[in-house]
């Protein structure tokens, strides 16, 4: 059994907050053709051994996600728009397919 404590709870909250993309679910609801692209790109960003650490979700490392947001948006602290997430996911999938 894995230890659980205040650090685990804080890390779970930090991961959930840092991965937030306001309006993404609503945007994908209205544009379902982009759901597979976003899921494929998100799956490639997951941490190795994600099932061993809380929050037990296939999410990227918060530091890596911050780096990716910074390179995509050009600034720290700004959340990506849903359109930017879809554009980056489509670009990522296209790059992967052309290998």
pLDDT tens digits for 30-43? 999 999 999 998 88
CA distance 78 to 63: 15
Domain that holds residue 40: 6-97
Question: Contact 86/38 with Cβ under 8 angstroms?
Answer: yes
In a domain, residue 1? The reply is no
In a domain, residue 16? The reply is yes
pLDDT tens digits for 20-30? 778 888 999 99
pLDDT band for position 11 (cuts 50, 70, 90): low
pLDDT band for position 2 (cuts 50, 70, 90): very low
Question: Contact 45/39 with Cβ under 8 angstroms?
Answer: no
Q: What is the pLDDT of residue 10?
A: 53
Q: What is the pLDDT of residue 3?
A: 47
CA distance 26 to 63: 26
Q: Is the pTM of this model over 0.85?
A: no
| 77 or 41, higher pLDDT | 41
Q: Tokens for 41, please give them.
A: 């790109």
In a domain, residue 72? The reply is yes
| 15 or 46, higher pLDDT | 46
CA distance 67 to 72: 9
In a domain, residue 51? The reply is yes
Q: How many structural domains comprise the chain?
A: 1
Q: What is the pLDDT of residue 1?
A: 44
65-96 burial, b if ≥16 CB within 10 A, otherwise e? Answer: beeebeeeeeeeeebbebebbbebbeebbeee
Q: What is the pLDDT of residue 99?
A: 56
In a domain, residue 64? The reply is yes
Segment holding 24, helix H or strand E: helix 24-30
């Amino acid at each position: 059994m894995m230890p659980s404590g205040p650090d685990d709870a804080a890390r779970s909250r930090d991961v959930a907050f840092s991965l937030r993309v306001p309006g993404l679910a609503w945007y994908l609801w209205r544009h379902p053709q982009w759901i597979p692209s976003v899921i494929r790109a998100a799956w490639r960003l997951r941490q190795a051994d994600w099932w061993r650490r809380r929050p037990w979700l296939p999410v990227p490392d918060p530091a890596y996600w911050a780096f990716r947001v910074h390179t995509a948006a050009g600034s720290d602290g700004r959340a990506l728009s849903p359109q930017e997430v879809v554009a980056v996911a489509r670009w990522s999938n296209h790059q992967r397919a052309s290998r």
